[in-house]
Amino acid sequence: MQAGYIIHLVNAVEREPHIAALRAAVRDHPLEWSLQVFSASDGSEWAAQPEIGKLHPRNSVPVSQGVIGCAHSHLSILKNVLDTQKAGVIIFEDDCELGPGGTKAIDDFLYHVNSDLGGNWDMLLLGANEYVDAEQVSTQATRVKRFWGTHAMILRRRAVEAAVEAFRAHQREGYFPPADWLLNAAIVIGQLVCYAPVTHFQLCRQVPGLRSAITGEVRGDGTGALAHQEDGVAVANELSSPSFPMPH
């Protein structure tokens, strides 16, 4: 059994209609995706803890509270997956919308990677802002080694374990990786196989016109190669953030 979550920050009320639309779209899915709304961290809890390293691994500049909250939210979900012995997890962020093909397009992609590509994967990107290092491996799929954007993905347990270990490894050096940076590190550390559709926005994209909770900028239509955005917080309060234990 795998878990399913929509990450959502309680004060981002403008994103509630997009959450409702996403849940409605997958409600009758044959895979029985059951998407719980996960009450996201705003970053204040970890920002106030001096024992948590907060330097960006790229330039050793302190990361923002929004970046901390986004990564904390993702990590809390991943830790919950490990603690509850789930086989994997589907994660959407509350600014995500399905492409014109809806869940059928996602089904077709899943069938392709599981049948035509042998099912040997650890992570599937259902949407991204940009593929930074990637190689097309079929007419429908790209193998991704580095990417930006964390608004729609499926992680099997091996990927979950690698991401948690990647965070702890960064913390031992005093670094705080943003959520997408963290998953890129997990791909390397765990030697993970990550597939994505050939076009990064064809299955899911971030809703255009919304203001990023991290950068403060209004998003475009999501069809171009975007600058690095470390977003992913956004309402409902069905599931509180479980505590993610910090390494020592």
Q: What is the pLDDT of residue 3?
A: 85
Residue 152, beta-bridge partner list = 92, 127
Q: Are 70 and 230 in contact, with CB atoms under 8 Å apart? A: yes
Residue 237 domain-assigned? no
DSSP 128-185: -SEEEEEEE-SSSEEEEEEEE--SEEEEEHHHHHHHHHHHHHHHHTTB---HHHHHHH
Number of domains present in the structure of the chain: 1
pLDDT exceeds 60 at position 236: no
Across the chain, mean pLDDT equals 87
DSSP 76-110: HHHHHHHHTT-SEEEEEETTEEE-TTHHHHHHHHH
Q: What is the pLDDT of residue 194?
A: 98
Cα(240)–Cα(243) distance, rounded to whole angstroms?
9
Residue 85 domain-assigned? yes
Instruction: Determine how many CB atoms are found less than 10 A away from the CB of residue 205.
Output: 24
pLDDT exceeds 80 at position 27: no
Reported as a pLDDT band with limits 50, 70 and 90, residue 248 is very low
Q: What is the pLDDT of residue 32?
A: 53
- Percentage of the chain surpassing pLDDT 90? 75
Residue 248 domain-assigned? no
| Closest to 229 measured CA to CA, from 245, 247, 216, 242 | 216
Higher pLDDT residue, 55 or 243? 55
Cα(90)–Cα(124) distance, rounded to whole angstroms?
9
Q: What is the pLDDT of residue 222?
A: 58
Residue 236 domain-assigned? no
Rounded mean pLDDT, 86-97? 94
Higher pLDDT residue, 214 or 164? 164
Residue span of the structural domain in which 135 resides: 2-206
Among the listed ranges 119-128, 133-142, 231-240, which one has the minimum average pLDDT value?
A: 231-240
**125-159 per-position pLDDT tens digit:** 999 999 999 999 999 999 999 999 999 999 999 99
- Give the pair of three-digit tokens for residue 108: 């077709």
Residue 212 domain-assigned? no
Q: What is the pLDDT of residue 192?
A: 98
**173-213 per-position pLDDT tens digit:** 999 999 999 999 999 999 999 999 999 999 999 998 888 77
- CA distances from residue 189 to 44, 159, 170, 186, 221 in whole angstroms, order as listed: 29, 10, 11, 5, 33
Instruction: Determine how many CB atoms are found less than 10 A away from the CB of residue 177.
Output: 26
Rounded mean pLDDT, 26-44? 81
pLDDT exceeds 80 at position 241: no
Backbone angles phi, psi at 147, to 5 degrees: -155, 170
**94-106 per-position pLDDT tens digit:** 999 999 999 999 9
Residue 113 domain-assigned? yes
CATH assignment at residue 57: 3.90.550
Residue 186 domain-assigned? yes
- Percentage of the chain surpassing pLDDT 70? 86
pLDDT exceeds 50 at position 214: yes
Residue 244 domain-assigned? no
